[in-house]
Structure 1
Amino acid sequence: MGLYPLFADLTGLPVLVVGGGHVAERKTAALLSAGAKVRVGAPSLTPALMQQVEENKIEHLPGAFQPAWLDDVWLVIAATDDHALNADVAANAEARRILANVVDAPALSRFQVPAMVDRTPLTVAISTGGAAPVIARRVRETLETELDHALGPLTALAQRYRTRITQRWPDLAERRAFYDWLHDGPVMNLLRNARPDEAERVLLEALDAKEPASRKGSVLLVGAGPGDPGLLTLRALRALNQADVILHDSLVSEPVLALARRDAERIDVGKRCGGRHTQQEQIHQLLLEQAQAGRLVVRLKGGDPFVFGRGGEEMEFLHQHGIAFEIVPGVTAAVACAAYAGVPLTHRGHARSVHLLTGHGKESLDAMDWPALAQDHQTLAVYMGVARLDEFTQRLLEHGRRPDTPFVIIENGTLPQQRVVRGVLQELPAHAKEHAIHPPALLIVGEVAAMANEHAWFGRLG
């Protein structure tokens, strides 16, 4: 181990930053956040540093560096662009046995400032000993995606009740099991859902209970987005890494599933036209059985659970049966596919509103307000409408939508095999047949669709 890692308590202690530029500004901000009393020595300061001086947040030592600046400080950071000056600061600090860091000069430094993941009071520090700061930054970026922001409040809650937890479970193995429950169970979920009072109540109930707390199952209704794994939210990625079992739709792409926890059980509950079809009632029962068995269940849906994903029905079912649940929104297909085709759903000059529609089944078409949908200067985004393009087009034209209204069909949107087929409304059915469009495909009708002609940037154009 090249460096000895430690976390320094600088609360109320004087520290020195030599330099008044933007680098010194960043170092000062980090030291202030740690509670240090910061002195900044430099002939001049950035406007931000000068404002902090005026607000009495930091002390300014004007002029060139003087060894007396090091009197009574606990550590120093040399953050100038003058190598000789930085070396002089480090040498004077060494003579006084004061820890010094010289920015971008690990050979002159007695301590390194790590890359950090902040989940206060939980802090993760990453260091390469100054050898490759960019690698430390990349590791930090990875950890930022994996470490839940609720870990901070969870750690603070555990800290507050540490004495009681130790007294309740003097046996180390039992105490470890309790901390596992604290992390994996309802307390963490409640903190994640911004319910700190309920989380504390559940913790107190567990401390007063005669029997150890047992893990209860729960369900996360997670939007997987339109297919590109890069469009997953951080919360969705964390859910995939926590899941015991994943119930996924057929539209969830393999690259997205590949990000899931390796030992999670996967159950395909997809609904396919003309193929195997999982009834919604079966999905409900699977959710109930898996959650009642104490498992963390991720119900993974293409797009967003609440946009033509029947997530509302599943939420109601879980609530009726007393199963804890969370909703993790996803990027819905209309937003993502339009963007990947270079089509803004709204545009000040072309579209005043957006309608999200489903063309799945005759009942859906019969329920639509066709006179309203036929108005100009609005965008229609149609999910699951490939099988009924003839009828959809006919009804729009019959109710007055202009025959030359532009359209685009985005097939396999956001995936490498994406195709964009363009045209005008009166030619829509013929174009779809000519290009053999198959689901999954999203139809966009409206003036904004013409923008795909010049701005489509991803996949193939038809």
Structure 2
Amino acid sequence: MEYLPLFFNLKNRPVLLIGGGEVGLRKARLLIRAGAQVQLVSHEVHPELEELLAASQGKLVANDYHKNQLENVVLVVAATDDEAVNQQVNADCVARNLPVNVVDNPALCSFIVPAIVDRSPVVIGISSSGKAPVLARLLRAKLESIIPTRYSDLGQLAARFRDAVKTRFSDINLRRKFWETAFQGSVAERVFNGQMPEAEKLLQQQLENSDTSQPVGEVYLVGAGPGDPELLTFKALRLMQQADVVLYDRLVSAEVLDLCRRDAELIYVGKKRDKHAVPQPDINRLLVEKALAGQRVVRLKGGDPFVFGRGGEELEELKAAGVAFQVVPGITAANACSAYAGIPLTHRDYAQSVKLITGQLKNRTSDLNFAEMVAPNQTLVFYMGLHTLDLIVAGLLDKGKPASTPIALVSQGSTPQQEVLTGTLEDIVAKQAATQLPAPAIIIVGEVVALHDKLAWFNTQENTKESREEKIAC
């Protein structure tokens, strides 16, 4: 470790900033956010920096640098392009044991400023010891994307309760256990959802009932998307990584499942046509039982839980049992598969509406209202219809849909195994009989399918799995 990470308390303390250009402006913003009183040395001052100084009770002390300006300051930042000035500032600060940073010159720095993720009171600094600042900024961007901004609210809530918790628990291990429960459970989830009064009330209740209260469980109904793990939302990933129990469907890909917490209990409850690993009433019962036992339960569903995912049925059971729950939307198959296949669901020239249709009804029939599906300028997307493709095609033709209407089958969409078969209502059944694309697959019907050859980027029916793997390897 080349540098010891430290955090300076600069609130209402004088800091000398030398240089008033663009670089000086960036450093001034940071210093002022930390509460410093900036004293600026510069011949020219950026207009925005001038406004910042006025608003923060900072001041312009001189045009030229002189070592006397170091009196009574606690920290110095040199942001000039004058090498002689920078070296002099360094020498004068070293002689006085003053912390000094010369921007973009690690050799003249006694401290360096890291890339910062600010979730005050939680602050994260990322440093490359001045050797790879761009890499540090890239890492900061990664952390920014996975740490919700409301961690700031969670930290402030903890600060308000810190003394009360310390009074309640004299043992440090008990205090740690209490905070771990709060930071990873229902209190934190209320905060992340912007429910601060509810979070504060719940934390107070947990503190008051800490001797007798049972763990509070919750169910998270999470859309896992169509298969590509990079299509998960940040919220979905966060909940998956803190779950005690995960109930997952057949359509949840192995890559997505691998992102769940390593020691979570994984329960397969997938459904296949005419073969259910766990019947729906038993799934509902499991969700309730696990939550009432104080566990955090993720119900992981392929696609979106509210699009042919029976999420509404499960929430009705949870509501009746008094179990707290959240719903995290996922990218549904219609959106992902059409996008990966280069088939826009709407297009100004071809389709102004979209219908999402299940190819299998509750009574296991396909008694669909085809009359409302034959209107022009719309896109039809059938879920779970591969096994009834001939019935779907026959129903559309019977109600007057032209035989020349383009149609596409997208199998295992968004995964490396994705395959697309295109044709028309007239020939698609024969093509599928010869090709035998596997389920799961969606069926897209409409003029927008004609754009597939032009817009497809993921792969096409001519791209075999072998050729895809070869391209990826290259």
Same fold (TM over 0.5): yes
Q: After alignment, is 195-204 or 88-97 more displaced?
A: 88-97
SS in 1 for 2:305: coil
What is the CA distance between 1:115 and its match in structure 2?
A: 2.3
Q: CA, structure 1 residues 7+382, in 2 after alignment: closer, same or farther (shift >3 Å)?
A: same
Q: CA, structure 1 residues 430+175, in 2 after alignment: closer, same or farther (shift >3 Å)?
A: same
SS in 2 for 1:131: coil
Following superposition of structure 1 onto structure 2, how do residues 9-28 of structure 1 map, counting pairs within 5 Å?
Answer: 9-28=9-28
Q: After alignment, is 181-190 or 325-334 more displaced?
A: 181-190
Match of 2:372 in 1: 372
Percent identity for Structure 1 against Structure 2:
44
Q: CA, structure 1 residues 353+34, in 2 after alignment: closer, same or farther (shift >3 Å)?
A: farther
Match of 2:285 in 1: 285
SS in 1 for 2:271: coil
Scaled by the length of structure 2, the TM-score of the pair is: 0.88
Q: CA, structure 1 residues 394+115, in 2 after alignment: closer, same or farther (shift >3 Å)?
A: same
Question: Does structure 1 retain, via aligned residues, the 8 Å contact 2:38–2:53?
Answer: no
Residue deviations 1:156-202, cap 9 Å, x none?
11211222211122222322222222223321122122211111112
Question: Does structure 2 retain, via aligned residues, the 8 Å contact 1:245–1:265?
Answer: yes
Question: Does structure 1 retain, via aligned residues, the 8 Å contact 2:76–2:98?
Answer: yes
SS in 2 for 1:203: helix
Question: Does structure 2 retain, via aligned residues, the 8 Å contact 1:15–1:36?
Answer: yes
* Distance (whole Å) between structure 2 residues aligned to residue 35 and residue 364 of structure 1: 68
Residue deviations 1:397-436, cap 9 Å, x none?
3333333332222111111111122223332322322321
* Corresponding letter in the other structure for 1:439: A
Structure 2: gaps (5+ residues):
463-474
Structure 1: gaps (5+ residues):
none
Following superposition of structure 1 onto structure 2, how do residues 91-102 of structure 1 map, counting pairs within 5 Å?
Answer: 91-102=91-102
Question: Does structure 1 retain, via aligned residues, the 8 Å contact 2:251–2:270?
Answer: yes
Match of 2:4 in 1: 4
Q: CA, structure 1 residues 400+102, in 2 after alignment: closer, same or farther (shift >3 Å)?
A: farther
Cα root mean square deviation, aligned: 2.8
SS in 2 for 1:243: coil
Q: After alignment, is 228-237 or 30-39 more displaced?
A: 30-39
Scaled by the length of structure 1, the TM-score of the pair is: 0.90
* Distance (whole Å) between structure 1 residues aligned to residue 141 and residue 124 of structure 2: 12
Q: CA, structure 1 residues 383+77, in 2 after alignment: closer, same or farther (shift >3 Å)?
A: farther
SS in 2 for 1:162: helix
What is the CA distance between 1:329 and its match in structure 2?
A: 1.4
Q: CA, structure 1 residues 312+97, in 2 after alignment: closer, same or farther (shift >3 Å)?
A: same
Following superposition of structure 1 onto structure 2, how do residues 62-73 of structure 1 map, counting pairs within 5 Å?
Answer: 70=70, 72-73=72-73
Q: CA, structure 1 residues 171+414, in 2 after alignment: closer, same or farther (shift >3 Å)?
A: same
Match of 1:392 in 2: 392
Question: Does structure 2 retain, via aligned residues, the 8 Å contact 1:228–1:414?
Answer: yes
Match of 2:193 in 1: 193
Following superposition of structure 1 onto structure 2, how do residues 121-200 of structure 1 map, counting pairs within 5 Å?
Answer: 121-144=121-144, 147-200=147-200
Q: CA, structure 1 residues 171+53, in 2 after alignment: closer, same or farther (shift >3 Å)?
A: closer
Q: CA, structure 1 residues 406+87, in 2 after alignment: closer, same or farther (shift >3 Å)?
A: farther
How many residues in Structure 1 have an aligned counterpart in Structure 2? Answer: 461
What is the CA distance between 1:371 and its match in structure 2?
A: 3.6
What is the CA distance between 1:6 and its match in structure 2?
A: 2.1
Match of 1:315 in 2: 315
What is the CA distance between 1:48 and its match in structure 2?
A: 5.0
Q: CA, structure 1 residues 461+159, in 2 after alignment: closer, same or farther (shift >3 Å)?
A: same
Runs of 4+ in 1 over 6 A off after TM superposition: 53-58
Q: After alignment, is 243-252 or 271-280 more displaced?
A: 271-280
Match of 1:259 in 2: 259
Q: After alignment, is 25-34 or 444-453 more displaced?
A: 25-34
What is the CA distance between 1:40 and its match in structure 2?
A: 5.1
